[in-house]
Amino acid sequence: MFDSLRARLARRWRARSMTRRLRELDRLDRSHGLGVPTGRPAAQKKPRRQSNGTLPGLLVAGIIVAGVVAFSPGDTTGSLRSLIGWGPERLGAPPQVAHGEGTFTFMQTQRNSREPVSYDPCKRIEYVINPEGGPDNYRELVDTAVRHTSEATGFRFEFQGTSDRRDWEIGGIRGRNDPVLVGWATAEEYDRLSGDVAGVGGSLAVRDGTTTTLHYTTGRVVLDVDAFEDLDTMREGALLGQAIVDHEFAHLVGLDHVQDARELMNAENLGVTTYGPGDREGLAALGGVPCT
Ligand SMILES: [Zn+2]
């Protein structure tokens, strides 16, 4: 069966509007920093690239917050164990990756250092999903992103079930040891999704009482309800949807945007749907940090 012309045109229009939207996402959204909620930064024009792939521009999610620094006394057991030689066990190892073949950058680095802020590789990263507003295959999307992230970092994740939590704002996280919350929201509910932003991902950085080292303990991946509904109508929608969730999970564990067009973390991604060489190197570095 051929689609009617009208349907085809409608779909093409949607794809084009999606492409335009995708390109605009990260241009609007460069407010990094330490999680202090900021107003929308002035739009910063970046040179447009020509798309030459068959895919429409990837809906690259705008990412916002790397983390919020929270001070917490105590929690020194792990550090003490390390000092006296009872280092905690790493749960997994990052894969061997090629070095220097791509581009990556971290959301945050340790003070006076190039070492990234990351999760503790000796602890499982627990997560819950709020499926409300998400696509039917929400579980597959999220679990696939978890698998990709886990393979690329060595981190172990643990699904803790579905949840009706909707406290999306990273800057407002109260339970620093609560599971990561993954879900779908509209811009009306969560204004960081307004405009052309398809998703937001980030984590909360905390430090213990004895060192200046920061590590992530929990975070958020918030995906845009409308964007995923639009993807449902596109031929490449499944591929793009997965790429978006993968992209957001890379932010979650600490990877930031790059200009390099070969990377999934490219801020104006035009068709890359899997990790590039820099993404892989950066994710392996994030998984290779010492345990806390
Ligand atoms: Zn992003």
User: Does residue 173 lie within any of the structural domains?
Assistant: yes
* Distance from Cα 83 to the centre of ligand 1, integer Å: 37
* Count of structural domains, the chain: 1
Asked if residue 45 has pLDDT above 70, the reply is: no
CA of 36 to the centre of ligand 1 (A): 18
Lowest-confidence region among 120-124, 206-210, 252-256: 206-210
Integer-rounded Cα Rg, in Å, for the chain is: 19
Residue 277's pLDDT is: 97
| Residue 48 maps to a domain | no
CA of 93 to the centre of ligand 1 (A): 25
CA of 145 to the centre of ligand 1 (A): 14
C-alpha of residue 81 to centroid of ligand 1, in Å: 36
**What is the CATH classification number for the domain harbouring 226?**
3.40.390.10
Q: How many residues does the chain have?
A: 292
Q: What are 123-168's pLDDT values in tens digits?
A: 999 999 999 999 999 999 999 999 999 999 999 999 999 999 999 9
Higher pLDDT, 136 or 208: 136
Residue 196 lies in a domain: yes
pLDDT at residue 150, rounded to an integer: 98
Per-residue pLDDT, 15: 59
CB 250 within 8 A of CB 67: no
Of 43 and 197, the structure prediction assigns the larger pLDDT to 197
| pLDDT, tens digit (0-9, with 9 covering 90-100), for 93-128 | 999 999 999 999 999 999 999 999 999 999 999 999
pLDDT of residue 48: 35
* Residue 44 in domain: no
Could you tell me if residue 46 is inside a domain?
no
Q: What is the pLDDT of residue 166?
A: 96
Domain annotation covers residue 235: yes
- Alpha-carbon span 222 to 202, nearest angstrom: 9
CA of 129 to the centre of ligand 1 (A): 20
Tell me if 242 sits within 8 A of 193, measured CB to CB.
no
Cβ neighbours of residue 291 closer than 8 Å, sequence gap 6 or more = 78, 82, 87, 88, 90, 120, 121, 122, 123
Domain annotation covers residue 200:
yes
| Residues of the domain holding 274 | 5-32+53-287
| 214 C-alpha to ligand 1 centroid (Å) | 22
CA of 263 to the centre of ligand 1 (A): 11
Cα of 257 from ligand 1 centre, angstroms: 6
Residue 175 token pair = 């339970």
Q: Please list, in sequence order, all residues whose beta carbon lies within 8 angstroms of the beta carbon of residue 120, skipping any fewer than 6 positions away.
A: 78, 215, 217, 291, 292
CA 67 to centroid of ligand 1, rounded, Å: 14
User: CB within 8 A of 119, min separation 6: which ones?
Assistant: 125, 155, 203, 215, 216, 217, 253, 254, 286
Residue 39 covered by a domain: no
Q: Report pTM.
A: 0.75
Tokens of 59: 């809906």
How many angstroms separate the alpha carbon of residue 5 from the centre of ligand 1? 35
The answer to whether residue 50 scores a pLDDT higher than 60 is no
Neighbours of 147 (CB within 10 A): 13
Q: Which amino acid is at 192?
A: R
Dist. CA 198 → ligand 1 center (Å): 9
